[in-house]
Amino acid sequence: MQVLFLSSEVAPFSKTGGLGDVAGALPSALAALGHQVLVVTPLYLGVPREGLEDAGALTLTFPFGPVTARLRQRPGGDGLTHVFVDVPPFFERPGLYGHPDDARRFAAFTMAGLSHAQARGFLPDVVHANDWPAGLAALALKRGYAHTPLGNARTVFTIHNLAYQGNFPKSELEALGLPWSLYTVDGVEFYDQLSFMKAALKSFDVLTTVSPSYAKEIQTPLGGHGLDGVLRARSKELSGILNGVDVREWNPATDVLLPARFTSMELSGKARCRQALLDAYGLDAPPDGQPIFGMVGRMVEQKGVDLLLDTVPRVLEQGARAVVLGSGEPAFEARWRQLAQRFPTRLGVKVGFDNALAHLIEAGSDFFLMPSRFEPCGLNQMYSLLYGAVPVVRDVGGLKDTVVDVAQPQGTGLVFSELTSAGLSRALLRALDLFRRPDEYRQVQRRGMAQDFSWQRSARAYEALYRTR
């Protein structure tokens, strides 16, 4: 098949979260199955220009004005090509999202991707769009390309996080050239705004999300962010396919970012990573029988950071160590720094992102903390399982689908339900108790390291979905 893959971020070129990881790995896995995949994404300010080839130019006409886009490509070989939409006034800015003209920026990106595919003679069997920035693709195909070969493509839309919806003033409808006939409760209107996400949910042939449990949760008032009714109406077209892990990057046996490598059968390298992690944060070694807890992620309410700030001091007081890496809401960043000042030899906090340090935290930690309020899929809990850092998670979304509580025969982690500091505190106390029983802890650790989260499994599920009519 020929697959046109539209994504507003693609690792390693651009990334703010799981979408970038998926868009970096899934197309490669599809190409490995023999498909021709054309990935289209914006050329942001931070994307390296070296090695990019000219792939032509086009001018898009919108009511708000013409947009000239140059296309740059990076052939990947074996059926995979990346094309970057180069519109300097739109994309050579700090940050990927959050600009007042985001509706116009990403409508232009989407139209440029479709128009470029047509111009280069790439006639996709499938147009696979991701999250709200590409949410207008199916509408554009149905309206502007209906009588062209491109209009015959099957359209697939993946929801990576329903909380981000691309809602804009309704005046943008005219600016983008969309007719007011679409601005209805059954169309693109959402609480008196134009919603790219709702447009996608209404217009694509097939809807997917990134874990089976999340597919169920977003059809409920609690998890649907106001769109649960729309999703329930399309439940027959909605499915959940668990994300995979790029095992070329995330494999403790081959990870070049680690000071030592290890496997489930030979864990001495993990002990060296554990010491290197303490050294990186300037922490004292914990007493025998006390673990290191690790946390990597955005410091936002979704990730349960408030619960962590309330409960981590309790395990530090008992002698455990904890390391934190991430950024987010300034109030949470400040509270982590204050807590680190209170426990200078037991808690290490680094605000920002450091890929090598993220790998070291997964490799050197004994437990990994991820008490999310909601989690469409999550990747860090999968990384932690593969790296022998037993995860502590809530039973939501992809966390529920990937981590089995140690109370079960094939348990791989600590799972809790109650969204309170008390609920997380009980889970942390269970973790401390498990660590004091090293033989049992090692069995849990090794079961996690034996899991298969490869993208090949996920890619075959998408392949089957693409073929279904």
Q: DSSP strand E in 146-246: where?
A: 154-159, 167-169, 193-195, 206-209, 238-240
Count of CB atoms situated within 10 Å of the CB of 295: 26
What lies within 8 Å, CB to CB, of 22 at 6+ separation is: 7, 130, 158, 160, 210, 243
Tell me the pLDDT tens digit for each residue of 50-65: 999 999 999 999 999 9
Q: How confident is the model at residue 469 (pLDDT cuts 50, 70, 90)?
A: low
Q: Which residue has the tokens 């047509």?
A: 118
Tell me the pLDDT tens digit for each residue of 216-230: 999 999 999 999 999
Alpha-carbon distance of 348 to 325, in angstroms, equals 9
Tell me the pLDDT tens digit for each residue of 229-267: 999 999 999 999 999 998 888 999 999 999 999 999 999
Query: What is the set of domains in the chain, with CATH numbers?
Result: 2-244+455-467 (3.40.50.2000), 268-449 (3.40.50.2000)
The answer to whether residue 292 scores a pLDDT higher than 80 is: yes
Alpha-carbon distance of 203 to 250, in angstroms, equals 36
Cis preceding-peptide flag for 12 (omega within 30 of 0): yes
Q: How confident is the model at residue 157 (pLDDT cuts 50, 70, 90)?
A: very high
**Which among 174, 233, 160, 142 has a CA at the least distance from the CA of 6?**
160
Alpha-carbon distance of 209 to 18, in angstroms, equals 12
* SS3 (DSSP) at 371: coil
The answer to whether residue 395 scores a pLDDT higher than 80 is: yes
Crossing angle of helices 137-144 and 102-119, rounded to 10°: 50
Beta bridge partners of 69: 58
Q: How confident is the model at residue 17 (pLDDT cuts 50, 70, 90)?
A: confident
Please check whether residue 248 is in contact with residue 24, taking contact to mean a CB–CB distance below 8 angstroms.
no
